[in-house]
Amino acid sequence: MKLKSIKLAALAFAGILSLGVITAPAFADNACDNICNPGCQVADSVKEANGCNNTTTEKTLPKVVINILNAIIGVSGLVAVVFIILGGIQYMTSTGDAGKVKKARDTILYAVVGLIACVLAFAIVNFVITKILGFE
């Protein structure tokens, strides 16, 4: 009987603690105290209706090119990570076969080289466009 009451008390205590975690207060970000604040995430039409100036977002060609190149490099990096995982699975399932082990190691090696190339491409593209060409 004593053990049952201890378990019941522990369960009640855990329930009370979980309610405290679930109902924790959320504090809103004060970035929108002024709707014209650039950090305020409000539609341009709402800002225009409230008399804010300079609400249009400039989409220059260099910004679009940077975004496209970063997306392509990001997808390439993701593909390289997937190939690293596949190479690891091949390595684990090779059961000691020398040909399968070599193929798995080569897959991992080439995927790591590809991932390094993606990281370097990201750094070089952003450096050239922002520092050398002067676009941000």
Per the CB < 8 A criterion, the answer to whether 125 and 65 are in contact is no
**84: number of Cβ within 10 Å:** 18
Q: Per-residue pLDDT tens for 34-43?
A: 767 766 777 7
Q: What is the pTM of this model?
A: 0.55
Q: Per-residue pLDDT tens for 82-124?
A: 999 999 999 999 998 999 999 999 999 999 999 999 999 999 9
Query: What is the Cα Rg of the chain in Å?
Result: 27
Q: What distance in Å separates the CA atoms of residue 70 and residue 110, rounded to the nearest whole number?
A: 21
Q: What distance in Å separates the CA atoms of residue 54 and residue 131, rounded to the nearest whole number?
A: 26
- The SS3 call for residue 33 is coil
